[in-house]
């Protein structure tokens, strides 16, 4: 009888702990311009790339930076986003993606959420400047796509960013 009770207790404990297993986050999707398996007819991707290059030449920057653990838009970021808003207003059919990024500190889950808040802060700022929210996609890459490799203040500062990419 004691063996059965012990086995039953172990089985219940095993089932209970299985429900507490950490859920796996889906892999981060590829960035804009990555091969998604669609056939390339030669014109759409080239046009998007050309528009993105034009955008980068004509705005003050395609990147805004953030302070550690922050997602508020500071005066320098406002000036950059104002430049982007003027360009987007002159090109109303253009769609963009704003990528949110973080430095390497913190958990993957935390940084994905912070990157999302950063991308949405930039989107909301552009929307407040008259850009249609339907023109703007957002994505968070968290700490998965650093622009600067290194574990120092300079590298971390460069990686805390939101990047605007023209997709069409």
**What's the pLDDT tens digit per position in 15-72?**
555 554 444 444 554 544 444 344 444 456 777 788 999 999 999 999 999 999 999 9
Residue positions counted in the chain? 168
Q: pTM surpassing 0.85?
A: no
Question: Which residues, including other chains, have CB under 8 Å from residue 147's CB and lie 6 or more apart?
Answer: 101, 158, 159, 161
Considering the four listed CATH numbers 1.20.120.80, 3.30.870.10, 3.30.930.10, 3.30.1330.60, the one that applies to the domain covering 64-168 is 3.30.1330.60
Helix segments in 19-43, DSSP class H? none
Q: Tokens for 31?
A: 């960035």
Helix segments in 19-138, DSSP class H? 44-58, 75-90, 108-128
Q: What CA–CA distance (Å, rounded) separates 100 from 62?
A: 12
């Amino acid at each position: 009888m004691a063996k059965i009770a012990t086995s039953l207790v172990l089985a219940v404990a095993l089932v209970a702990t299985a429900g507490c297993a950490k859920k796996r986050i889906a892999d981060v999707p590829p960035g804009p311009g990555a091969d998604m398996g669609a056939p390339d007819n030669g014109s759409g991707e080239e046009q998007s790339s050309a528009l993105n290059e034009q955008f980068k030449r004509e705005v003050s920057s395609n990147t805004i930076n953030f302070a550690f653990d922050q997602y508020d838009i500071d005066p320098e970021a406002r000036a950059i986003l104002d430049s982007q808003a003027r360009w987007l207003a002159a090109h109303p059919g253009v769609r963009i993606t704003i990528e949110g990024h973080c430095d390497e500190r913190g958990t993957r889950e935390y940084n994905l959420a912070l990157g999302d808040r950063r991308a949405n802060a930039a989107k909301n700022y552009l929307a407040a400047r008259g850009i249609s929210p339907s023109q703007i996609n957002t994505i968070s890459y968290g700490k998965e796509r650093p622009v600067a490799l290194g574990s120092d203040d300079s590298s971390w500062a460069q990686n805390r960013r939101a990047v605007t990419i023209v997709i069409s």
